[in-house]
A and B are shown apart, each in its own frame.
Chain A
Amino acid sequence: VFTLVIDVNEISIDLSLEKGKAYVLGTDGGTGKTYLYKLFNAYENFGDNVLPLTYEKRRDDSDIVKRINNFNGDVVLFDRFDLYFNKDFVNLCLDNGFMVLLDLKCDKYINSLKVQPVNFVRTKNRIEVKKW
């Protein structure tokens, strides 16, 4: 198990999961998945071991592939992945040994991947993501 603890804006994020595996952050709404993306996005400005990706209307797939290929860190988060799902993105991340976190709800997409659910616990100053 690889553990990454980072602090962003007085929020501690504790990820204790395996690298080279993909995890679905749960299918309920309001749990804080996009909030986690925002924290990662803030952290990306001064850290280099997380790659947060979200839906952008005018972006093509090659841009995402380029960002993944240029990434040298540990964790890739796909926020709102239902809107731009591409299995190849996940496989590229896994081939590179990254830990992959997915905000993904579409059953047909989830079923097409080898993913595991995680325990996503959010308190006022802490987000904890661990294996069930």
Chain B
Amino acid sequence: MLRIYTDKKLLDVPMIYDCDSAFEGIKLTNIDFTNRVLGEIELGEYVDEDTFKDRFGRNMYISNLSTSSKILLLASKCDNYALFCDEIGSNAVDFLLECINAIIYFEGRNIEFKTELIEPVSYNNKVYNTVHELNSAIAGGGVYIGN
């Protein structure tokens, strides 16, 4: 289950603060999620495990991916560290809902998800079943107050 935190005290795993650096050594996998991140965030496409085509058709090493894409690709693989996600772009936030094993932490962002949940999501250790409930909880600091 995707676990989202805004309360640092509740984290039970170490946190990766600099996701850009943590991405070092990661390889791209040619799967639907990677392709959609590259397509929608970079306006590019997958080439191989070390390179992608950028929005101008140039082959680039994956170290040149945006921080948002690096956070998403890391979140799709990492389930034993919390990822500091304040740096993620507004256009990338909803992709996090697809990272069903990730643990993510926001400190100062007003996050509102736009797409429906794939499966229940934990927010500060309480489980929410719909995006409406989740957004309400996040906006209210963790307490769902209903419609």
Contact = CB atoms under 8 A, between A and B. Distances in A.
Asked whether A and B interact, the reply is: yes
Interface of A: 27-35, 55, 57, 80, 82-83, 105-109, 123-124
Nearest 3 A-B pairs (CB), nearest first?
Answer: A29-B89, A29-B68, A106-B108
Interface string B75-119: 000000000101111111000000000000001111000000000
Given A30-B68, A30-B69, A82 B108 contact: yes
A27 B90 contact: yes
A83 B87 CA distance: 8
23 contacts: A27-B89, A28-B90, A29-B67, A29-B69, A29-B90, A30-B42, A30-B69, A30-B91, A33-B66, A55-B20, A80-B87, A82-B108, A83-B84, A83-B86, A105-B86, A105-B87, A105-B88, A105-B89, A105-B90, A105-B109, A106-B86, A106-B109, A123-B56
Interface residues of B, number: 25
Interface in B1-45: 17-18, 20-21, 41-43
B17 A29 contact: no
Given A29-B89, A34-B66, A109-B108, A55 B41 contact: no
A124 B108 CA distance: 33
B125 interface: no
Contacts of B21: 57
Interface string B37-73: 0000111000000000000100000001011110000
A125 to B, nearest CB: 9
Contacts of A28: 89-91
Given A29-B89, A29-B92, A105-B86, A34 B109 contact: no
A20 to B, nearest CB: 26
Given A28-B91, A29-B69, A107 B108 contact: yes
Nearest to A122: B55
Which of A33, A34, A35, A123 has the most chain B CB atoms closer than 10 A to its own CB? A34
A3 B86 CA distance: 31
A60 to B, nearest CB: 16
